[in-house]
Amino acid sequence: MQENLRVDRFVMLHGTHHRRLAEYVADDIRDVSPETEVAPHVLDFDDPWDFEEVYGKLLDFARSFPFDPDNQDYLIHITTGTHVAQICLFLLTEARYLPGRLLQTQPQRGVPQPVGTWGAIDLDLSRYDSIATRFAEASAESASFLKNGIETRNAAFNRMIDEIEQVAVRSRAPILLMGPTGAGKSQLARKIYELKKLRHQIGGAFVEVNCATLKGDSAMSALFGHRKGAFTGAVQDRPGLLKTADKGVLFLDEIGELGLDEQAMILRAIEDGLFLPVGSDKEAASAFQLIAGTNRDLVDEVAAGRFREDLFARLNLWTFSLPGLAERREDIAPNLDYELERFAEREGTRVTFNKEARDRYLRFAENPGSRWRGNFRDLAASVTRMATLSQTGRIDVDTVALETSRLHSLWAGDKKVGDGLEGLLSSDQLAQIDPFDRVQLAYVVGICRSCGSLSAAGRQLFAASREQRASTNDADRLRKYLARFDLDWITVTGK
């Protein structure tokens, strides 16, 4: 019994063939510490000296045990058991699968009661390849978790996710997620939170804030809370979103939209864990991890004086730029399957493509001419529309044709990148045109529309080569060029 160490519950791992010894130990514990609950747990090993087996079974135990680190303080006793078990317990504690502190006890001679001592173990992981492999597998599982189990194929994206996985489980420093709207910043932030919670690193809530919705005086109150009577309408205390995120994760999406005053208070809260609610002269505390998201270039925002340089420096420790869907076309197919699964879970109806329809949709989706301006939001909405319109639970070519035409119409509103071909050719025709030929065709169409006749357009388009030929028929050359795409002068110009 340790006078300075009270144990409320003792979980004793033992093998089946050691049951009698376990009962003796349990009786001894009850004699010297009647307030301690003893909970025997049978855990058998075929070979207790096999690192891979011992680590694997202890890992399974750790994953299934109902840990509650917010309300319980766990001590992992590593003095007893084989050296292999001690090493594995240390590794699992270090990796936070066992969310506690290591306890090593040693009896002292000449005293009536043994006194325990705390100790640490230094391990050379390179000696144990099987354990290193299990760590690699656990890391791969975590990376897959961050991607919702989607088998993504884009190498750069996969490398970034692997790095985010390491940062998520090893650091509490702020994380900055950059990328266009719809690239998945909010979803990734939530998955980081869920991964940390699975590893027992946090116990609080995930609090998501769209900073673009926080305007004027209400921004301070929403973020930092207020005291009753702080302003007209403050009829009761409000804790604020930072306080709500205590011991959890605060995700500030579109952080570039915050005003400079709010930025200054956020910086103080990150560095010291303290902030001042509106109308209060007493600081409040909150221990949260910050994840920030933005579709702006914060370097430019700092240069323009719209974003604090000191806050950016604090956020810029771990910065990750999420690519848009158009930069990850090889990932469209697995994400298409994922969106169909999400639809099935949400609506309770399973919908699939027939082969021809799936091939046709992917040809369109993966074509460089498809813009995916809304990124994964566009893809999710597209799948929802097709699945909803598929009355038999099978998406056919007609449904795909309708959807690709709809997407072309939606994207045609972007005048900065439009090439004028959407109104001339169907989505299927556009999907069959190489990007090289599409640029050329768009240029030809523009010239035709600016000229009064087929001959005039031909003369302008073939101005250099016509000087080198004895006879010219530029109008016929242009007519044949347009015919390659099933176009003619009247269709292109309306003249």
CB 62 within 8 A of CB 35: no
Determine if residue 140 is left, alpha or beta; phi over 0 gives left, psi from -120 to 50 gives alpha, anything else beta: alpha
Q: Does domain 9-125 have CATH number 3.40.50?
A: yes
pLDDT of the chain, 495 residues: tens digit per residue: 556 678 889 999 999 988 999 899 899 888 888 898 999 999 999 998 988 899 999 999 999 999 888 888 888 888 888 889 999 998 888 777 888 888 877 766 666 665 566 544 444 445 445 665 666 677 677 777 888 788 889 899 999 999 999 999 889 999 999 998 889 999 999 999 999 998 888 989 999 999 999 877 788 888 998 888 777 777 788 889 999 999 999 999 999 999 999 999 999 999 999 999 988 889 999 999 999 999 988 999 999 999 999 999 999 999 999 999 989 999 999 999 999 999 999 998 889 999 999 999 999 999 887 889 899 999 999 999 999 998 888 999 999 999 998 888 888 765 444 566 877 888 778 888 888 888 889 888 888 877 767 887 888 888 777 667 666 688 889 999 999 998 988 888 765
Three-state SS for 82-145 is CHHHHHHHHHHHHCCCCCCEEECCCCCCCCCCCCCCCCCCCCCHHHCHHHHHHHHHHHHHHHHH
Rounded Cα distance between 288 and 245, Å, is 6
- Which of 476, 435, 434 minimizes the C-alpha distance to 454? 476
Are 293 and 254 in contact by the 8 Å Cβ rule? The answer is yes
pLDDT, residue 403, reads 92
Nearest to 44 by CA among 18, 77, 83, 82: 18
- Residue position matching structure tokens 């994840």: 291
| Contact call for residues 262 and 220 (beta carbons, < 8 A) | yes
Task: Give me the pLDDT at residue 31, please.
Answer: 85
pLDDT tens column, 86-142: 999 988 887 778 888 888 777 666 666 655 665 444 444 454 456 656 666 776 777
The DSSP output letter for 414 is -
CA–CA distance, 302 with 307 (Å, rounded to integer): 5
Position 415 scores a pLDDT of 45
pTM of the predicted structure, to 2 decimals: 0.63
**326 vs 331, 375, 378, 383, CA distance in Å?**
10, 7, 11, 17
Q: For residue 468, count CB atoms less than 10 angstroms from its CB and return exposed for 0-12, middle for 13-18, buried for 19 or more.
A: exposed
What are the extents of the domains in the chain? 9-125, 154-323, 326-431, 435-493
* Cβ(255)–Cβ(211) below 8 Å: yes
What is the reported pLDDT for 69? Answer: 83
For residues 9 and 318, what is the distance between their CA atoms, to the nearest angstrom?
A: 40
How would you label 146-158 residue by residue, b for 16+ Cβ within 10 Å and e otherwise?
bbeeeebeeeebe
Q: How far apart are CA 105 and CA 103, in angstroms?
A: 7
Distances in Å between the Cα of 249 and the Cα atoms of 71, 209, 311 are 19, 11, 18
CB 146 within 8 A of CB 188: yes
**Burial category of 84 from C-beta neighbours within 10 Å (exposed 0-12, middle 13-18, buried 19 and up):** buried
Residue 310, classed as helix, strand or coil, is: helix
Domains 9-125 and 154-323 equal at CATH topology level: yes
Locate tokens 């097709």: which residue? 386
Nearest to 252 by CA among 319, 180, 176: 176
Domain with residues 326-431, CATH architecture: Orthogonal Bundle (1.10)
Instruction: Find the angle CA(363)-CA(364)-CA(370) to the nearest 5 degrees.
Output: 130
* CB-CB contact of 143 with 161 (8 Å): yes
The rounded distance, in Å, linking the Cα atoms of 329 and 258 is 33
Q: What does the alpha-carbon distance between residue 429 and residue 486 come to, in Å, rounded to a whole number? A: 9
Q: Spell out the residues 6+ positions from residue 275 whose beta carbon is closer than 8 angstroms to its own.
A: 224, 240, 242, 265, 268, 269, 283, 284, 286
Please give the pLDDT value at position 124.
Answer: 45
154-323 sits in which CATH class? alpha beta
Buried b (16+ CB within 10 A) or exposed e, 14-53: beeeeeeebeebbeebeeebeebebeeeeeebeeeeebbb
Of the chain, the end-to-end C-alpha distance in Å amounts to 99
